[in-house]
Homo-oligomer: A and B are copies of this chain.
Amino acid sequence: MKKTIYDIAKHAGVSIATVSRVINNTGRMSDETRKRILRIMEEFDYLPNMHASALTGKKTNSIGVIVPDVSNPFFGEIVKFIQLFAEEQGYTVIIGSTDYHPEKEANYFSLLKQKSVDGLIMATSVDSDESLERLQEIVDDNVPLAMLTHDRMPFPMDVVTIDDSMGGYIATNHLLELGHKDIVFVTGSQTMTSFRDRIKGARQSLEHNGVEFHESQIIKSHFSIEGAKEDIGQYLETHLPTAIFAVNDVFACATIQAARKRGVKVPEDLSVVGFDNTVLAEVTDPPLTTISQPKADMGKQIVRMLVEAIEGKKTSKSKIILSPELIIRQSTVKPEAQV
């Protein structure tokens, strides 16, 4: 039932070596033979057993992608683009979603090593000792690495990010320009370097504009939208700023909902800025002013770099920093306009 290279060879009246040569398009051989073999492969619906070829050291044509959470639309969209471009280049994608758990991340590293992926894209902040140890093994195997949306490099690797710090800066600038002075920041796990940078940029903006900053202006929240609503809601009980900048759209949506639940109107009583420009920003009420990341471009660039590294067309590492963009919708207004 199962077709092997032997079946093809037998039917073509050649040796398996010849068949292997046409599979890999290597060696010399008469055009006639090659065509005949191709025809027979077609006819038999023959697909080479990739475990056998991987065992001999060939590429597996697969790349691993590790993201914190596929169900976050930002990563959902990113993954979709990565998959699209990887496919164009003839690679399959194996996705791991870590739920922000370092152990899961470490497990994925082991797993992807076992699956012998040809390269690895990471969109998580790899910091746990366990993860780094596992990643080290992958590095030892000379598997190319690329990091997306983070700019920390535990090992030499290609990087694609946006300028998160600038993103935080322009978001905050936008609020300051509107006239807000009392701005609060919502962020998540501080291990996410992208979040840290966004906050850093925000603080720089405050500083440049001569507005003071206190640690108490930061809400550190949990990751689920429900958890975030809770955390933000509690904060709002004690202090109601005129504007909030959240480090991603999920938090921004949570902010809007937490505010609404307490009778605080967005944007009249509270302006909100998000980050990522996901579908959530388009759809939420009010539509969210947010910082856009060029997701398609990011996906394309990272796949391009990784594939070049895999195929040996590129030996040095590079870093691509794309620009974030402010998308003004209706969740931000001047504080004068507030009730």
The verdict on A292 contacting chain B, using a C-beta distance below 8 Å, is: no
The verdict on A79 contacting chain B, using a C-beta distance below 8 Å, is: yes
A97: contacting residue among B83, B137, B140, CB under 8 A: B83
For A111, list chain B residues within 8 Å (CB).
Answer: 92
User: Is B55 within 8 A of A282, CB to CB?
Assistant: no
User: Is A92 within 8 A of B92, CB to CB?
Assistant: no
User: Is A285 within 8 A of B287, CB to CB?
Assistant: yes
The verdict on A80 contacting chain B, using a C-beta distance below 8 Å, is: yes
A77: contacting residue among B45, B71, B283, CB under 8 A: B71
The verdict on A2 contacting B141 (CB below 8 Å), with A253-B283, A285-B285, A285-B287 known, is: yes
A280: contacting residue among B54, B87, B280, CB under 8 A: B280
Copy count, this protein chain: 2
Question: How far in angstroms is the closest Cβ of chain B from A281?
Answer: 9
Stretch of A10-18, A113-121, A171-179, A183-191 at the chain-chain interface = A113-121
A71-B76, A73-B76, A284-B285 given; 19 more Cβ-contact pairs under 8 Å: A50-B116, A51-B54, A51-B55, A52-B55, A70-B76, A71-B79, A71-B279, A73-B279, A76-B76, A79-B97, A80-B97, A87-B104, A92-B111, A93-B95, A94-B94, A225-B279, A253-B279, A257-B282, A284-B284
For A115, list chain B residues within 8 Å (CB).
Answer: 50, 92
**CB within 8 Å of B: which A49-77 residues:** 49-52, 54-55, 69-73, 76-77
A334 to B93 alpha-carbon distance, docked (Å): 48
The number of residues on chain A lying at the interface, defined by a beta carbon within 8 Å of a beta carbon of chain B, is: 53
For A285, list chain B residues within 8 Å (CB).
Answer: 283-287
**CB within 8 Å of B: which A105-160 residues:** 107, 110-111, 113-116, 137, 140-141
For A83, list chain B residues within 8 Å (CB).
Answer: 70, 96-97
The verdict on A47 contacting chain B, using a C-beta distance below 8 Å, is: yes
A159 to B101 alpha-carbon distance, docked (Å): 31
**CB within 8 Å of B: which A256-298 residues:** 256-257, 279-280, 282-287
A52 to B55 alpha-carbon distance, docked (Å): 6
Question: How far in angstroms is the closest Cβ of chain B from A208?
Answer: 33
A97 to B80 alpha-carbon distance, docked (Å): 7
The verdict on A47 contacting B114 (CB below 8 Å), with A77-B71, A80-B70 known, is: yes
For A1, list chain B residues within 8 Å (CB).
Answer: 140-141
Of all A-B residue pairs in the complex, the 7 with the closest CB atoms, nearest first, are: A285-B285, A76-B76, A51-B54, A51-B51, A71-B80, A71-B76, A283-B284
Sample 6 A-B pairs with CB under 8 A, ordered by A number: A2-B141, A47-B110, A76-B76, A257-B282, A283-B283, A285-B286
A52 to B54 alpha-carbon distance, docked (Å): 9
User: Is B70 within 8 A of A282, CB to CB?
Assistant: no
Question: How far in angstroms is the closest Cβ of chain B from A96?
Answer: 8
User: Is B225 within 8 A of A282, CB to CB?
Assistant: yes
A54 to B51 alpha-carbon distance, docked (Å): 7
For A282, list chain B residues within 8 Å (CB).
Answer: 225, 253, 257
Name the residue among A1, A51, A111, A282 with the largest chain B CB count within 10 angstroms: A51
